Amino acid sequence: MTTRVRIQRRPIHGVLLLDKPLGYSSNDALQKVKWLLRAEKAGHTGTLDPLATGALPLCFGAATKFSQLHLDADKTYEAVALLGVTTTTGDAEGEVLAELPVPDITAERLAELTRRYSGPIQQVPPMYSALKKDGKALYEYARDGIEIDRPARDVVIHDLKLSLERDEQGRPQLRIQVCCSKGTYIRTLGEDLGKALGCGAHLVFLRRVKTGDFGVEQAVTLAELEAMDENTRLARLLPVEALLGHHEIVTLGADDAGRFLSGMRRRVQSSDAPLVQVWGEPPRALLGSAHIRGGELIPTRLLSPIEVGQIQAQQSAGAAVPPVVIADGQP
């Protein structure tokens, strides 16, 4: 019998931008990276389908407290939809439902579709999605052959570019470049475009190239990460505050910083703001997020004093980590 050795975890804080590989679920990718970093606590900022690749920010330690902020960020995708074929899932994983002839598609028709599907639109979420009904994911109902009524949802397409091309077999397909709001299903967009063209479509390629301020060109692949030593892996971590973007910074002195960390409101000379990042000094350290109302700094998400100390130690140590004292063991 094979003995499974438990990995010795450690507190790691920061964000790793992964270029998620094809075929991995977001959680599979997260667990693999968590194992490679020997991290105690980890989470991601929204799922990518197994058939999708691209930018997936992974949060470790204190960064998990701010992952929700990134769930609301705009996303940019590149996709390809095969025209004339519909499937049960809206992508290449599903069974073929119908095959229809593809009409001639002019540049004017593509321009009309671009206008029609730009700006605020409504989408009906796909049955093969992780949305839940009565505590059960929609894809679980779909696998049992049950169709659930799904109300249309409001989303925003900020920018849309469409072009016609052909695959290696000469079949017509639609290349889609889209920047959109949270909650947008690119599979559904591909299906809706195919339906509008009168021939149906399903996605055969999907890649997220940007999420919030994070571009895929900054990302590391899983293969690259596996080839690195521990110090180099840790050096790829972005600081926790990378998730707080360009939000205003409020800096507190040592006494006020300690009170803020205990959850107390502080008076500040700043205008009302829905979200600010709060730092303490000396020494300079991220304390958490807050909002300002009526001159009061009101804590929203706080780091613990232990987390603040661990982050300072991690930054001081740079990439240096203790030697590994465990045997091999994978998730």
- CA dist 76 and 67 (Å) reads 18
> Distances from the Cα of 251 to the Cαs of 15, 120, 161, 260, 268, in angstroms?
22, 38, 43, 11, 10
Euclidean distance between CA atoms 146 and 329, whole angstroms: 40
Distances (CA, A) of 253 to 203, 266, 307: 53, 11, 18
- Chain-centre distance of CA 130, in angstroms? 14
Q: Which of 19, 28, 49, 255 is catalytic?
A: 49
List, in sequence order, every residue forming a beta bridge with 163; answer none if it has no partner: 175
Q: Answer yes or no: 255 catalytic.
A: no
Residue type, 231: N
**Residue whose entry in the numeric block shows the structure tokens 């740079």:** 318
Query: How many whole angstroms from its chain centre is CA 61?
Result: 17
> Exposed (0-12), middle (13-18) or buried (19+): which is 120, by Cβ within 10 Å?
exposed
Residue 32 is inside which H or E element, if any?
A: helix 26-37
B/e letters for 276-299, b = 16+ CB within 10 Å, e = fewer, are: bbbbbeeeebbbbbbebeeeebeb
Task: Return the SS3 of 19.
Answer: strand
For residues 320 and 313, the answer to whether their CB atoms sit within 8 Å is no
Cβ burial of 122 (10 Å; 0-12, 13-18, 19+) is exposed
The rounded distance, in Å, linking the Cα atoms of 329 and 164 is: 47
Q: Which residues are catalytic?
A: 49
